Amino acid sequence: MIALILRELRLAAVGGAAAMPLIFFLLVATLFPFAVGPDGPLLARTGGGALWMAALLAALLPVDRLIEPDRASGMLDQLALRGIGEESIAIAKLAGHWLSFGPPLMIAAIPAAALMKLPPEVLMRLELGLLVGTPGLAALTVGVSALTAGLRRSGALAGLLMLPLAVPLLIFGAGLVERGNDTGALQLLAAVSLLLVAGAPFAAGAAIRASRD
């Protein structure tokens, strides 16, 4: 399992693939003030939600390179031949994907929050939400990636599949940033994230097996 996760991290590192979500996230954070205008209070009010949107789309970026190349190259077959379950592969993919984009995104959120003029306590809530919510985003990406593996031009379809499923994460994540945790948004965010992390490996495993027929 460790070897599989290390391989995921290596795949993310070569060719700068891991930097893409990060650059995308920072780019959105840079562009958003240009679009909304340099109105400090307005930016501070809407910035948290915009950063959650950016995080969601950043998580989706590697969706076509997570499962499909390994399916096409026979990697998944060879792992199955060695008795490694498809669910274990999905868990390794999930862990590798989250490690390659979750923590970097949390670091990038600091300069991004400065661009949005978010006050420090709001930044803390954003960081907390990202820490709890990004595993759920990674789980969604892996699940959708497995479902669309083997299809041509799967990128657009993957977006259509994943974005509606990410709505609860977005609502509770942005709600936590905006209103603090009086409403229990953090608990709900954690619950949704946990559900996705627990369910995605089984969905992805079944999808990988189904793609062999």
Partner 1 sequence: MNAGPLLRLEHVAARRGGRILFEDLSLALHAGEAALLTGPNGIGKSSLIRLVAGLLRPAAGVVEVGEAALADEHLALDERQPLVRALGFWARLDGGDPAPAMAAMGIAHLAPVPVRMLSTGQRKRAALARLIAQGAPLWLLDEPANGLDVEGQDRLAAAMAAHRANGGAILAATHQPLGLDDAIPVRLG
Residues that bind partner 1 (CB under 8 A): 3, 7, 11, 14-15, 72-75, 77-78, 80-82, 84, 212-213
Q: What is the DSSP code (8-state) at residue 15? A: G
Rank residues 78 and 187 by Cβ distance to partner 1 and give the closer one: 78
Listed in sequence order, the residues at least 6 apart from 118 whose beta carbon sits closer than 8 Å to its beta carbon are 44, 47, 48, 126
Q: Is 205 helix (H, G, I), strand (E, B) or coil?
A: helix
Rank residues 179 and 212 by Cβ distance to partner 1 and give the closer one: 212
Q: How far is the CB of 92 from partner 1 (least distance, A)?
A: 12
Q: How far is the CB of 111 from partner 1 (least distance, A)?
A: 30
Rank residues 78 and 183 by Cβ distance to partner 1 and give the closer one: 78
Q: How far is the CB of 150 from partner 1 (least distance, A)?
A: 13
Q: How far is the CB of 20 from partner 1 (least distance, A)?
A: 16
Using CA atoms of 160, 66, 16, 97 in order, give the dihedral in degrees to the nearest 10.
90
Give the DSSP H/E element, type plus range, for residue 130.
Answer: helix 120-148
Rank residues 124 and 210 by Cβ distance to partner 1 and give the closer one: 210
Q: Contact 51/109 with Cβ under 8 angstroms?
A: yes
